[in-house]
Amino acid sequence: MNTLIEEVVNKIQSSEKKYTAKDFSSDQDVRWCPGCGDYSILAQVQRVMPDFNVPKEKIVFVSGIGCSSRFPYYMNTYGFHSIHGRATAIASGLKIARPDLMVWIVTGDGDALSIGGNHFIHLLRRNLDVNILLFNNQIYGLTKGQYSPTSEFGKITKSTPFGSVDNPFNPVALALGSSGTFVARTLDRDPKHMQNIIKRAAEHKGTSFVEIYQNCNVFNDGAFFQFTEKETKSESVIFLEHGKPLIFGINKDKGIRLDGFTPKVVSLTDGKYSESDLMVHNEKDSTLAFILANMTYNEELPRPVGVFQNIDRPIYENEVEKQIQFSKNKLGKGELEKILNSGETWEIA
């Protein structure tokens, strides 16, 4: 960092101060529709923030445009509510310039995957140490109900009165395909799970991507109820746990077995298969992560939720800093006089 920044910035990375969730709540009225899934996400984020021991002045929330992107206004940290799709690019510049900051990106399915798709994949590829929270509600809420890049095929919306003919993105598979090092999925109506996933995302060194199934009760109510409501959740969702076999069902009586590369549901009670036949989740195994991701829109299989992948790769801004240090060590700190006078010079007397 240069002198002027050093004069004002808190150099302490780990706060002595004990925060509470309330410390992260800003003075602005929260203006999402009553009943919106975003409220739960805001509450869980505010609840886990104190656990990081990061001075709150070192935390920045960056967002684009959409309902989710109002998020920074409600966090009592630094915040930047930017333009549609560009939060990832703005956050990249911020993090490269200021690796000392903890940077969060809050985005939605339209913001991240449609207008901001390019920046999204390139951020994951570069692996900056930032965290992406993607609120997926499978609809455009702020523009009042058009289909989004995650809306299902055939979806009837204001802009698709005869049903959408677009194939939806699978955000987890897209993140994995973009070389994301930490890729996870959680649910707005499962606070405990969400808190845990957000904590793990924050701990991960490198880009963390968290897809959050979020209910838009105005324009797409119940889109995820199969996975979030008590009646159906146990039979429809499989929670991924590192090192553990893939088991689900209200009575924990079903599992996922790999038949070649194809995941299949098997019964643990019909005597054919036992736990030892099941696929064991391994967050370090990228091949398995893809198999799990591809279970997403398969109606014969439960929907995986949890951490798909958690691997390490060089972190972009660290590599940038390394080159700067290397150059300073080799050439000495830059001197203006030297570069102005570089190349052939001559005197006119």
Report in angstroms how near the CB of residue 94 gets to other proteins at its nearest.
Answer: 4
Angle between helices 316-331 and 87-97 (to 10 degrees): 30
- Which of 44, 68, 82, 170 is close enough to bind other proteins by CB under 8 A? 82
What is the Cα Rg of the chain in Å? 23
Total chain residues near other proteins (CB under 8 A): 70
- DSSP run (H or E) holding 106: strand 102-108
Interaction with other proteins in 37-66: which residues (CB under 8 A)? 55-60, 62, 65
CB contact at 8 A, 113 and 171? yes
The stretch among 8-16, 212-220, 232-240, 270-278 that binds other proteins (CB under 8 A) is 8-16
- Which of 72, 108, 171, 180 is close enough to bind other proteins by CB under 8 A? 72
342 is a site residue for other proteins (CB under 8 A): yes
Q: Which C-beta is closer to other proteins: that of 26 or that of 226?
A: 26
The 14-33 site mask, x for binding other proteins (CB under 8 A), equals ------------x-x-----
Q: Which C-beta is closer to other proteins: that of 131 or that of 294?
A: 131
- Which of 101, 293, 295, 307 is close enough to bind other proteins by CB under 8 A? 101
Q: What is the DSSP string of 275-295?
A: GGGSPBP-TT-HHHHHHHHTT
The CA-atom distances, in angstroms, between 80 and each of 62, 88, 123, 263 are 5, 11, 18, 42
The 248-277 site mask, x for binding other proteins (CB under 8 A), equals ------------------------------
Report in angstroms how near the CB of residue 142 gets to other proteins at its nearest.
Answer: 12
Q: For the chain, give the number of residues.
A: 349
Q: Which C-beta is closer to other proteins: that of 61 or that of 213?
A: 61
Of 120, 134, 145, 25, which Cα lies nearest the Cα of 69?
134
The CA-atom distances, in angstroms, between 345 and each of 70, 341, 348 are 56, 7, 10
Of 294, 41, 302, 311, which Cα lies nearest the Cα of 172?
294
- Tokens read off for 117: 């798709």
Chain contacts with other proteins (rule: CB under 8 A): 1-5, 7-10, 26, 28, 55-60, 62, 65, 72-73, 75-83, 86, 89-98, 100-101, 118-119, 122, 320, 323-324, 326-328, 330-334, 336-337, 339-349
